[in-house]
Amino acid sequence: MNENLFAILRSRFPTDSSTVFIETNCGQLMTYADMLSRSGQYANALIDLGLSPGDRVAVQVEKSLESLILYLGVVRAGLVYLPLNTAYTISELKYFLSDSEPGLVVCRPDREEGVRAIGGEARVKTLENGGKGGSLLALVDAASTSFEDAVCSGDDLAAILYTSGTTGQSKGAMLSHRNLSSNAAALAETWAFTARDRLMHALPIYHTHGLFTATNTILHAGASMIFLPKFDAEAVISLLPQATSMMGVPTFYSRLLQCETLTRECVEHIRLFISGSAPLSPEVHAEFERRTGHAILERYGMTETGMNTSNPYDGARRAGTVGFPLPGIELRIADPESGNELKQGEIGSIEVRGPNVFEGYWRKPQKTLEEFRDDGYFITGDLGVIDDKGYVNIVGRDKDLIISGGFNVYPAEIEAAIDSLAGVAESAVIGIPHPDFGEGVVAIVACKPGSLLVEDDIITPLSDVLARFKQPKLVFFVDALPRNAMGKVQKKEMRDQYADMFKGTKT
């Protein structure tokens, strides 16, 4: 049996190949038949360039219909897809290209000279913004549409995705054909996707969320997508009546709530809103449900595993939780040191095992060994607890844990308390070096427009709801919390910025 991801997804495509696969906001239409032909051209062009199964294809281009089909062509050819954040500078790209040693780099024309200078022996081809030109496209246009999918085992690599590197140097997570195909099947089942679905796709495609969670799930269901180059709240709202579902990051939903045009009428055809990549605040969850009648479904995943858990499609979608393990995936809460499973209700390390879990870190065997238990469980680095209803709750990153005066302080608990205060838009809680306590608790707060809060407005009400050791010793106000491209709050950046605030003090 051919376990190539594309071959498995292909077995799920609609029998009517004239079914629309993608429609862009510019009116471009691509049917499943078109997609098969065009991805075949990409696969042929890549092989004609001399690439062999297992070779890496690094891609840093803008989101477009053509760039998505490039991904499918890479997978069909048995090559390894390596997407790179479009915001990376040439200087930042140097690390990724030297580490992965790709056989081909695809970039924008304005990046070609810089990429050639750092790309080593890699071939370099271009794809213009919008996918309307470039040296790669010329080869693709001339290639045959007929291509027999490369035969792959489930363990063969389909992609390498570099971690965000917020706590150190980025690592290349090796994802196999089985990792990606099993996750697509689990998500399609859990979220009840069928050929009748039309997904609003406004996510970037250099990341697990938009590339794998969204695209592969839609292909597995034989469904279709409305494909936007980027998120624009008004554009999304205008197109939502044509959609049945949407996947987004929390920022998407908070921005939609700022639009008066977001009404129950414009979402009456939507059956499912999904959020991930960063925690969704209970306040946004509640306000979105009040405005639209829809309870957002929150799930939990990461670069190394794809999706691990989800709130139920049929059942209570509990704000602040990420639901239950997906079909075929095992999850436990363990003691971070020993790996022993903890009792329900105890906070510990979230560990997962299943066909979705990656093959390891590219060229980092020792780091790979360190992240797995002897029984095959992957140590996610997240801290969590399973509540009395069986829902998984994430309380923070292991590296975000604050130890103050010998007490464990979980930032998520304090952030929830601060976010509930009048005038607060969002907050982040960090620990920074303290001469007496080891680490002191510090809150970074962004206010809602028009709110002028001071430190006492935060600290005073917290004294009634949090133990003293959990209460922030300092509060700083900012216009907005620093985030990366996927909406994750950059706590390392804030720890670095405020690292010296307790120097010379005793509290």
Q: What is the pLDDT of residues 1-17, one digit of tens each?
A: 999 999 999 999 999 99
Q: Do 391 and 406 reside in the same domain of the chain?
A: no
Q: Which of 397, 412, 434 is the last residue of a domain?
A: 397
Shared domain for 393 and 405, answered yes or no, is no
Confidence of residue 401 (pLDDT cuts 50, 70, 90): confident
Residue 244 maps to a domain = no
Mean pLDDT of 88-109: 93
First to last CA, the chain: 66
Please tell me whether residues 418 and 393 are part of one structural domain: no
Tokens of 262: 């977001």
For the cut 50, the answer to whether the pLDDT of residue 507 exceeds it is: no
Residue 505 lies in a domain: no
Q: Which residues lie across from 360 on neighbouring strands?
A: 174
CATH number of the domain residue 310 falls in: 3.40.50.12780
Range scoring the smallest mean pLDDT among 46-55, 168-177, 451-460: 168-177
What's the pLDDT at 313?
A: 98
Amino acid 487: pLDDT: 77
* SS3 category, 231: coil
Structural domain contains residue 413? yes
Rounded mean pLDDT, 381-410: 87
Q: Which of the residue ranges 279-283, 428-432, 483-487 would you say has the lowest mean pLDDT?
A: 483-487
Residues 6+ apart with CB under 8 A from 450: none
Residue 428, classed as helix, strand or coil, is strand
Mean of pLDDT values over 387-394? 96
pLDDT of 77: 98
Task: State the amino acid at position 225 in one-letter form.
Answer: M
Q: Domain of 81?
A: 5-230
What's the domain count of the chain?
A: 3
Least confident among 183-197, 367-381, 412-426: 412-426
240 inside domain: no
Beta strands per DSSP E along 220-325: 224-227, 245-248, 272-275, 297-302, 306-310, 324-325
pLDDT for 129 beyond 60: yes
Q: Where are the alpha helices (DSSP H) in 356-507?
A: 365-370, 411-419, 455-462, 491-497
Sign of CA dihedral 114, 120, 122, 123: positive
Given a cut of 80, whether residue 28 has pLDDT beyond it is yes
- Is residue 274 within 8 A of residue 295, CB to CB? The reply is no
pLDDT, one tens digit per residue, over 331-383 is 999 999 899 999 999 999 999 999 999 999 999 999 999 999 999 999 999 99
Q: Provide the mean pLDDT of the chain.
A: 93
Q: Residue 412 sits in a domain of what CATH number?
A: 3.30.300.30
Q: Is residue 164 located within the same domain as residue 276?
A: no
429 & 368 share domain: no
| 393 and 407 assigned to the same domain | no
pLDDT at position 438? 77
Do 317 and 362 belong together in one domain?
A: yes
Dihedral sign from CA coordinates of 294, 321, 186, 69: positive
What's 144-175 look like in SS3? CCCCCCCCCCCCCEEEEEECCCCCCCCCEEEE
Residues 14 and 153 in one domain: yes
> Does 385 lie in the same domain as 267?
yes
- Per-residue b/e over 85-103, b at no fewer than 16 CB within 10 Å? bbebeeeebbebbebbebb
pLDDT bucket at 505, cuts 50 / 70 / 90: low
pLDDT for the residue numbered 166: 40
* For residue 435, pLDDT beyond 70: yes
Looking at the fold, whether 37 and 51 belong to one and the same domain comes out as yes
Q: Rank 91-100, 325-334, 468-477 by mean pLDDT and report only the highest.
A: 325-334
The answer on 431 and 382 residing in a single domain is: no
Burial status of residue 126 (CB atoms within 10 A of its CB: 0-12, 13-18, 19 or more) = buried
Alpha helices in 429-484 (DSSP H): 455-462
Asked if residues 4 and 151 have their Cβ atoms less than 8 Å apart, the reply is: yes
- What is the C-alpha separation between 73 and 212, in angstroms, rounded? 15
DSSP class of residue 483 equals B
In-domain check, residue 458: yes
Q: Going by C-beta distance under 8 Å and a sequence separation of 6 or more, which residues neighbour residue 336?
A: 348, 349, 379, 383, 398
343 vs 335, 346, 398, CA distance in Å?
A: 10, 6, 19
Among 369, 397, 425, the domain-final residue is 397
- Of 371, 397, 423, which marks where a domain is finished? 397
Helix (H, G, I), strand (E, B) or coil at 90: helix
Question: Is residue 249 in some structural domain?
Answer: no
Q: Is residue 506 part of a domain?
A: no
CB atoms within 10 A of CB 483: 16
Q: Mean per-residue pLDDT for 296-322?
A: 96
Q: Are 325 and 308 in contact (CB under 8 A)?
A: yes
Q: Tell whether 242 is covered by a domain.
A: no
Q: Cβ–Cβ contacts within 10 Å for residue 173, how many? A: 22
Q: Give the other-Cβ count within 10 Å of 116's Cβ.
A: 14
Say which residue, 44 or 407, is predicted with more confidence.
Answer: 44
Average pLDDT over residues 89-93: 86
Domain co-membership, 426 together with 348: no
